[in-house]
A = this chain, B = another copy of it.
Amino acid sequence: MKIPADELNKLLAAHFPDVIGKTMRVEKVAEMTSDVRLLYDDRHLRPGETISGAALMSLADMAMYAAILGTMGPVLLAVTTNLNINFLRKPRPADVTGQCRILKFGKRLVVGEVFMYSDGDDRPVAHATLTYSIPPDKNDKEASA
């Protein structure tokens, strides 16, 4: 692990002030994995007393970002290139935890998956796979995209 959860929360709160510390919190971070909690908030509710899909997608994205930073250290340059999410069950009106596991950490692309669970239920409410692109080193003269 290149950065502990406390420090990562501070770092992310500086960059995503509307999200980290307000609607999400990194709970665990380690080499290739992370747990990020989506705090229950009326604003995430949708008709039928359920959590919005948008909130779950943000959660998946943040969990993956946290796992990347936990693996490569606080380099805030990775960008999401692809996200695929399956909504499996209606989340209950409660916190949701996103558990990320990185499947491949390449020099240019990082691929991971995130399982999302409502508090108190061990059946996933959603599952996402994500790809992040790691920009070429700034020192590399032939920066590309």
Interface residues of A (CB under 8 A from B): 15-16, 18, 43, 46-47, 53-54, 57-58, 61, 76, 79-89, 103-104, 106-109, 111, 113, 123-124, 127, 129, 131, 133, 135-137, 140-145
Q: Which residues of B contact A133 (CB under 8 A)?
A: 108-109, 145
Report the Cα distance A137→B144, complex, angstroms. Answer: 9
**Interface SS majority for chain A:** mixed
Given contacts A15-B47, A16-B46, A53-B61, 10 further A-B contacts (CB under 8 A): A47-B76, A53-B80, A54-B61, A57-B83, A82-B86, A103-B124, A109-B145, A113-B113, A127-B129, A143-B144
Q: Which residue of chain B is the closest to A50 with respect to CB atoms?
A: B79
Complex: how many Å from CA A20 to CA B129? 28
With a CB–CB cut-off of 8 A, which chain B residues contact A43? Answer: 18
Residues of B within 8 A of A108 (CB): 108, 133, 144-145
Complex Cα distance, B144 from A133, in Å, reads 11
Contacts of A86 in B (CB 8 A): 81-82, 103-104, 111, 129, 131
A137 to B140, CA, bound (A): 13
